[in-house]
Amino acid sequence: MGLSEERQKELEQICRESRVELIELLHKKQTGHPGGSLSACEIMTVLYQEKANVSPDTVRDKDRDRIILSKGHAAPILYMALAKAGFIPQEELLTLRDLNTRLQGHPSSHALEAVELTTGPLGLGMSAALGMALSLKLDESPAAVYVVAGDGELNEGACWEAAMCAAKFKADNLILIVDRNHVQLDGTAEEIMPMGDLGEKFRVFGWEVYTCDGHDVGELCACIDKAKEGKGKPKAIIAETVKGKGVSFMEGKNIWHGKPIDDASYEQAMKELKGGMEG
């Protein structure tokens, strides 16, 4: 069922708040990664708030959906989504990257139960997610496995091994969401390793493919609904996004991939983000 107008507005408001709180947190802790966190804000919000069957009371339920942030450097937006969905207390966000914190710089399933897979080394999430998806199918579970990957991450060959394998084994409970922000760590995706038409690539690898505006919560929800219906093939949603979305001077700039936020940039970012809060 489509999103009601009211619910869409609520999700958009959660995204606005998440962006403000994310920048406050990263500035306070003098750590990264702003760019890829901001681009994945709507994706993570829609998964945790609306589409995935997950809740703090069912963290180890065998039929829960699995959400894997394969681009683990965007951990701050994962933690923000977990806090907003009640998996961790909001105050705990302030322990980000502290020694022995549950909120490690990259997500750790050992440190925090709600994290389904430890990530950080790029290119591993899809294979692990495929294993989970196939195991769930063997158990005749209704659960879906959502994996969020970066477009730079897809340079990793292991992703394409997983892609071939997922199609062969008809992993139709596997839903990959690509944060297609066209930028990676030290340049644009095009400069570092051109990926061409990613949707077409997944299609010829035997996947069902959807494309949407990854900052439009309504479009993301509609794509996920369609992806959940299809049988016999793994699904890829190519979510077109902007790295650093919401902060003009970060948008599309690889220098804001992992850089801590200085005071002047923080003031400017807050002005822009809080200006957008009334909308």
Which residue of 11, 15, 16, 36 would you call a contact of ligand TPP, by CB under 6 A? 36
- Whole-number minimum distance, CB 153 to ligand TPP, in Å? 3
* Half-sphere exposure (Cβ direction) of 37: Cα atoms closer than 13 Å: 30
How many residues line the site for Mg ion (CB under 5 A)?
5
- Owner of token pair 């869409």: 8
Interface mask toward ligand TPP for 220-259; x: CB under 6 A: -----------------------x-------------x--
| Binding partner of 51, given ligand TPP, Mg ion, none, CB within 5-8 angstroms per partner class | none
Instruction: Please enumerate in sequence order all residues whose Cβ is within 8 A of that of 167, keeping only pairs 6 or more positions apart, or say none.
Output: 205, 206, 207, 233, 234
Packing angle, helices 157-168 and 125-138, rounded to 10: 20
Residues shown for the chain: 279
Query: In whole angstroms, what separates CA 207 from the centre of its chain?
Result: 20
Residue 172 phi, psi (nearest 5): -80, 0
Per CB under 5 A, 181 contacts Mg ion: yes
80, two tokens: 């923000």
Which residue of 152, 218, 234, 246 would you call a contact of ligand TPP, by CB under 6 A? 152
Interacting span for ligand TPP (CB under 6 A) from 22-30, 61-69, 149-157, 204-212: 149-157
| Binding partner of 132, given Mg ion, ligand TPP, none, CB within 5-8 angstroms per partner class | none
Residues that bind ligand TPP (CB under 6 A): 35-36, 39, 71, 73-74, 120-123, 150-153, 179, 181, 183-185, 243, 257
